[in-house]
Amino acid sequence: MIDRRHCLSLAALLALSPVAVRAQTTDKAAAFIKATGDKLVAVVNGPGTASSKRAAMTQILNADVDVDGIARFCLGRFWRQATAEQQKQYVSLFHEVLVTNITAKLGEYNGVTFTMGRSRMQDDQAVVSTTVVRPNNPPTAVDWVIANPAGDPRIIDVVAEGTSLRLTQRQDYASYLTHNNNSVDALIAAMRNQVSQSTTARG
């Protein structure tokens, strides 16, 4: 007959089993995306000037997205070819370009809502599925890829209808560099010009 201590030991082992740990990890990842999504929706649908919304969006991205890691991924093999100063300028501009691209489309997402789907582990990353709905548009399936989901989770990719946003950006940068003598300085100049034009348009 199994005594109470054996029952408790068995329960402890089950709680620490790989299946249980993975379930806890995906639950944490789902809660993280739910909280992040709620913050994003509040900014998009809430009151405020374009400037205040940009500031709020920047704060969310810095807190919940691994922007530096995404920047390195998007530059691909050219990251290793870049000098330390080029890397520094590129990452700084990548932050600004990302915020600019998102905030430029906030008006298109007014009234947006999202619903949570299933969560799963993919190697050491978590993938949380959601459905994003905009007024007068069909629902969009959006998967959020999260690194370090069990510890300090950060979003590292967004996959909309099967298309990876960071992979698409990486391909765009690679194409630009290929057509510009593989010059990282040329890419930096183009990114700086993009930010400058956006600032002028906002002003």
Are 14 and 20 within 8 A, CB to CB? yes
Question: How far, in Å, CA of 44 to CA of 40, rounded?
Answer: 6
Q: Does the model's pTM come out above 0.75?
A: yes
Question: How far, in Å, CA of 37 to CA of 114, rounded?
Answer: 8
All structural domains of the chain, each given as residue ranges with its CATH number in brackets, are 4-202 (3.10.450.710)
Are 191 and 93 within 8 A, CB to CB? yes
Range list of H helices, 46-83: 50-64, 67-75, 78-81
Q: What single letter denotes the amino acid at residue 47?
A: P
Question: How far, in Å, CA of 108 to CA of 154, rounded?
Answer: 26
pLDDT at 201: 59
pLDDT at 170: 96
Question: How far, in Å, CA of 72 to CA of 77, rounded?
Answer: 9
pLDDT at 96: 93
Return the sign of the alpha-carbon dihedral for residues 134, 136, 141, 142.
Answer: negative
Percentage helix, strand, coil for the chain under 3-state DSSP, each rounded to 5:
60, 20, 20
Give pLDDT tens digits along the chain (203 positions): 445 555 555 454 444 455 445 567 888 999 999 999 999 999 999 998 888 998 999 999 999 999 999 999 999 999 999 999 999 999 999 999 999 888 888 888 889 999 999 999 888 899 999 999 988 889 999 999 999 998 899 999 999 999 999 999 999 999 999 999 999 999 999 999 988 887 665 55
Looking up tokens 């990890």, which residue turns up? 25
> Quick one: tokens of 196?
């400058």
pLDDT at 1: 43
pLDDT at 104: 82
Residue in 111, 89, 99 with CA at minimum distance from that of residue 55: 99
CA 144-121-113 angle, to 5 degrees, is 30
pLDDT at 108: 81
